[in-house]
Amino acid sequence: MNVPADNRSTRFTMVGCREVLTYYAGSILIEQQIDLIEQSIVENPRLTFDVCKSLLETTCKTLLRERGIEPNTADNAQDLLKQTLEHLDFLPDSHRDKPRVRDGLKKTLNGLKTVMQGLAEIRNAEGLASHGPDAFAPSLDAVHALMAARAVDAVVHFLFGCHRAYPGEGASPARYADQPSFNDYVDDLHGLVQVFESEFRPSEVLFKLDEVAYDESLRTYLDERAAGRVTETGGEGDG
């Protein structure tokens, strides 16, 4: 396999997908899929194509079920993506009456379908677990696997972003239990809220009464933690 020089020393990070993990911290499957894609781009491009398809299918099934919709039974990435696009909102209320914006976005979404169809065809021809290639068949290079990873990273991040921004009716709320470190951090800062004989966690109160404020505070906390200014347990960082 010919590995481009700029891929030998630099490992690609799926930034968009890893941001999704901050809201789906309990999703071990998605995290495993992301890890596999990042590891396989240079080492095993064939595997990258397979796992990219799996990650897209997992994403679509997760979003559909959170909206109370049963996914198509067939594990077909293109059909699942089409079904998901049909049940997501992509525009804020301020832009729903702007036909040029709406038409432009529709064309962009159609482009996503085309991209995913092309990647699915590459996976069927080149994937490690698709149709069993010849034992001595040469593989595509890391540059092709990187293209697939970047495309899926962008699509997954966009789908989850729209799902959260425009939940619609029937969509499941954000998962409070997925952020134990942040919840402990909030509780340590503010202490339990007592009303008569009952005590309530401040983090849970914030989540239930103002989810937008909860999400904004969570983002700030994650940024601070990444910079080393707070620790996993909620204490101040050494620096």
32 closest CA partner among 43, 47, 46, 42: 47
Mean pLDDT throughout 83-87? 90
Q: Are residues 67 and 29 in the same domain?
A: yes
Q: Among 144, 165, 186, identify where a domain stops.
A: 165
pLDDT in tens, 155-188: 999 999 999 888 765 555 456 777 888 889 999 9
Q: Are residues 147 and 211 in the same domain?
A: no
The count of structural domains within the chain is 2
Instruction: Write the DSSP symbol of residue 89.
Output: -
The dihedrals phi and psi of 65, each to the nearest 5 degrees, come to -70, -35
Is residue 48 in a domain?
Answer: yes
Interatomic CA distance for residues 57 and 69, integer angstroms: 14
Q: Are residues 110 and 211 in the same domain?
A: no
Is residue 76 in a domain?
Answer: yes
Q: Are residues 158 and 55 in the same domain?
A: yes
Q: Are residues 155 and 59 in the same domain?
A: yes
- Name the residue range of residue 216's domain: 176-226
Q: Are residues 69 and 181 in the same domain?
A: no
pLDDT in tens, 93-124: 788 788 888 888 888 888 888 888 888 888 87
Q: Are residues 139 and 36 in the same domain?
A: yes
Q: Kindly report the CA angle at 157 between 156 and 162, in degrees rounded to 5?
A: 100
The count of other CB atoms within 10 Å of the CB of residue 237 is: 11
Is residue 187 in a domain?
Answer: yes
Residue 174, both tokens: 């954000």
pTM for the full predicted model: 0.65
Q: Is pLDDT larger for residue 76 or for residue 129?
A: 76
How much is the mean pLDDT over the chain?
81
Is residue 234 in a domain?
Answer: no
Is residue 231 in a domain?
Answer: no
pLDDT in tens, 8-51: 445 899 999 998 888 776 778 899 999 999 999 998 888 898 89
Q: Are residues 197 and 144 in the same domain?
A: no
64 within 8 A of 159, measured Cβ to Cβ: no
Is residue 201 in a domain?
Answer: yes
Is residue 170 in a domain?
Answer: no
Res 72: pLDDT: 79
Q: Are residues 51 and 143 in the same domain?
A: yes
Name all contacts of 171-178 with Cβ < 8 Å and 24+ positions apart. Answer: 171/66, 171/67, 171/68, 172/66, 172/67, 172/68, 173/211, 174/23, 174/207, 174/211, 174/214, 174/215, 175/23, 175/24, 175/26, 176/203, 176/204, 176/207, 177/26, 178/23, 178/24, 178/25, 178/26
Q: Are residues 134 and 54 in the same domain?
A: yes
Is residue 171 in a domain?
Answer: no
Q: Among 116, 141, 165, identify where a domain stops.
A: 165
Position 131 confidence tier, pLDDT thresholds 50, 70, 90: low
